[in-house]
Amino acid sequence: MKFLFERDTWQEVYDSLSKNKLRSVLTMVGVWWGILLLIALLGSAKGIENSFNRLFGNFATNSVFVWGQVTSKPFKGFQEGKFVNLSISDTEKVRDNVEGIEFVVPRNRNQALVVRKFLSGTFTVFGDYPILDKVQKKKLIHGRFINQNDINENKKVVIISEDIYKQLFEKEEEVIGQYIQINSLNFKVIGMFESGRNVGPSSDIHIPFSTFQQIYNQGDKIPFMMITGKPEYDIKQIEIDSKLLLKNLNNIHPEDKRAIGAFNLGKEFAKITGFLKGMQFLTWFVGIATLIAGVFAIGNILLITVKERTKEIGVRRAIGATPFEIKRQIIVEAVFITILAGLIGIISGGWILIAINALLGQGDEAVFVNASVSISVVFIALVILVFLGTLIGLIPAFKATSIKPIEALREE
């Protein structure tokens, strides 16, 4: 490795490249473009992945939403068109009898007029259990979420989103302990959570499930439930089993496809994950293929350079240079050109990602969120460049040492 630190080694590399500057630049274009493409596409794919993660971030993604609809087949004396009302007891039976379930969360929802002093608006009010915070995590800014004591005592407490706060409160006004009216009933604010992009039903205001049942006279009925499967179980099978059980509990024909509605978040998330993995694989494939093409171009140019330097190589051989030293010099030139082009490509790709983040990565609706590549990806790309540069440098290196010194000295 000592030769790498010798001035003569790098002087020879410089002389070789500077003899035909245009050719040297064109030689590097293929590698530069390949690494730029690799960095830019991988960073963009990461930005899209981050965007989806932000979209689904508050949810347990291995989940399915289930609700009652209208039957399309008569069954056990019930006519077609019966409306299906799900109940709390249904959620308990699903939780206890369907394999692979981690949580079953019954939920209530209604629209309500919300008033504070002279400000008001119509928002979605949810009746929820504390367990909701495990499957749809709230990023609390102030206060707390609903607890079991709120449920047991039917407390009139409320958790609001940051957006609701902005509409009903003055800027920087204290929120915890304040009261708002929901359908003319006073509720004490105990928490405020960060607003974000929502998956599924919009999430504005939360009150205890038991309080919701009481003020809306819901009894045992629920409009929908959220079922979360354990990570090792297939959420599509959990959906099938849960719907079949609910049909049996509610006297619905087993083949009635309309009676129980569902939105399988896990299935949709798996599609997106598969798309992102495919995109990353395609990016690596295209990037490496372009790199290989660029490196082969370097090999071809070096073959031409070796041909032009035949007499020089003959002189070096005649004064005592070994075949190994000749090969080593050619390989160093190949690796140097490859790495130099690669580093320029990495820097250029980084600039492109900076531009993407500045132009397309801002705001809640951004398609790309923090489009970037990790240091490990850059390191792997450089290792690939060194390997390919060494490999392709062997071809002109062996060509250079295959010429006999006497024949090389005769070359004009």
Domain ranges of the chain: 2-56+270-410, 63-264
Mean pLDDT, contiguous 10-residue spans, the chain (412 residues) = 55 63 73 84 84 70 91 87 92 93 92 90 92 86 94 94 89 91 94 70 80 90 92 91 94 92 87 83 82 74 67 65 70 78 87 87 74 84 79 70 59 51
CA distance 214 to 108: 12
- Per-residue model confidence (pLDDT) at position 44: 86
- Per-residue model confidence (pLDDT) at position 309: 64
Tell which phi-psi region holds residue 383, choosing left (phi > 0), alpha (psi between -120 and 50) or beta.
alpha
- Per-residue model confidence (pLDDT) at position 201: 44
Which residues partner with 143 through β-bridges? 191
Helix, strand, coil tally for the chain in percent (to 5)? 55, 20, 25
Output b/e per residue, 188-226; b: 16+ Cβ within 10 A. Answer: ebbbbbebbeebebebbbbbbbbbbbebbebeebbbbbb
What is the number of residues in the chain? Answer: 412
CA distance 306 to 398: 10
- Taking the whole predicted model, whether its pTM rises above 0.85 is answered as no
- Per-residue model confidence (pLDDT) at position 333: 74
Output DSSP code: residue 193: E
Question: Which residues are within 8 A (CB) of 80 and not within 5 positions of it... i.e. 6 or more apart?
Answer: 71, 72, 73, 74
CA distance 40 to 249: 54
Angle of helix 265-308 versus helix 21-56 axis, rounded to 10: 170
